[in-house]
Structure 1
């Protein structure tokens, strides 16, 4: 029997039970929509993480005080005070794989401008800190090396700080602010960067010369961390090894001593968060796939019921010349048709759900062609797999027994 005739017979059979077909199809629709929306959320999160890691700077190498494992006790990087400005200067002079190095000190402070006040993070660094972090000046200027030497009371501020202290659209350059009662002149405004993956406002920041923050606002010789830029992405691992070697010599550590610092690269952070994002995406897609499998079980259940109800019809068709493979193909076509149409509707529904999640939930979602094709292919496979047994059962009926069936 020609394939076209089989398709016509299958479509007529399905059209007789529209509600049953729709309810069976519903499982496939929900399954495909779930897979697409979960993959969209996962892909959106992955790209958002990559963007946040990129916002750290270009080929960035980060050195934190303290080791992850200190004296047999697991500690977080930054748990100890072991890094100094001198360490940063030594790295800048000796590490051939680094192009820029800046010590970093930070303090959360209250800032006042006229009658307005705002609580923000004040960061002290060399002027190279701006380029290491890939920050850009929208208006005004960056502080100079002379400002660093003289501990000048100047700063550049982020967009959030500017808006809260001076109002929307007001130029802050040339204005004076007080940080912990110390007057500072604003000489530059940073370009807007927005929030990172962790919800931190990257525009809520004030950057001043390292010497100014350390001498006028802090006490002690230790720094929070050291930031550096490697010559290229391929040099980051070499840079990490050389930084470790130089700092061990600088800190006079013996071969048996553990590092009293932790070196991380931008690639390390990207790999960690990328792995987490990948695992979560697979987990979400796997959970969503369960509903697709349940939909497949629904198809098999309905097809088995259909075989039972149409036993006499099958017997009559075989009696007038239909072959077993014709019956097999007819029921397979019906099963695949249900999963095919359900898959198409599920794709549209999944795209709609993803857009609603992005609009009202604020989650980043990215729908890729591969996720759509994967979901559609999976639904087709489900239709073939779960339709095979009922179709095989129908094709295996004895025509005489089928005609006797009441």
Structure 2
């Protein structure tokens, strides 16, 4: 049993933010019913594929964030399908959607309507700019994606090389961080309901989440009156805290603490630097010179040699690609790469595991992502049977 095995979640989300949130819930044991529009989540056909896809196949994108869920296909504009959805709502704990604000209201399935059918329901939304119920703004109703959120929220302005353009963070952090915050909000609402019996509306916005994630830049603006900008891999107030070139790649060194700085200088054969620049202020003031001195040592050595020399005394790590990650025993010891069945393929595929670790109810990947409507009869058939039983009684 998972920690959330008592919860049923109706998942109306698609693409990344919503599915990642409900994936976390499914990994922790919730029964997540993915309710897909006719034709299904439009990332189902996104590559990569193991083999040439058949009609029902889905790619790695869909597999990764929809594992462990059940799927049904409903057209909320159809009267019968709308009634089927409402019958599921009556027994659900959570409904989550990531449409534009006002979309569910067009089907007369907004929070207020669903609450009439289930007063204890927790209704959660993930939108680019939030929902009017929690704070109305002029941006609501506009479409938004991760790239938009990273740009508006200040992430791109502080990411990239100092002399380069604003740069998007590689993973879709606008989606992923928002999804994680939404999951936290849902679980907080569940806890509140356990104490009071009250459901509520949970809302997280991509833009809001990116403002929260740029945390350091926000307080810097307030304290200094100057907008922070890009400075590569370095840190505005700490040194060394940067990436350094090795003979065969790059390493990162975070030796800004005096104890780590002293150890770093000893290991590279430059104890004089620790004596001459003993505090944070002197190291920051002379960071360019010190960076050159450290680089003259790292560029003559492989990343492996650098790490072997410094590990245990100075925070250090190689900059890894995914091939390196797959070869790292730590990742496998922590169950962070897990195999799942891939429909239509002659082999399993591997996806990222769950980073939340628990001793009694450990989250885990509970099977592959579903085919479109794979559980239609199983889920809606149960509802029909329950209704017939109630009528007989």
* TM-score of the two chains, using structure 2 as the length reference: 0.20
Higher-Rg member (1/2): 1
* TM-score of the two chains, using structure 1 as the length reference: 0.19
- Which structure carries more helix by proportion? 1
- Which structure carries more strand by proportion? 1
RCO comparison, higher one (Cα < 8 Å, 6+): 1
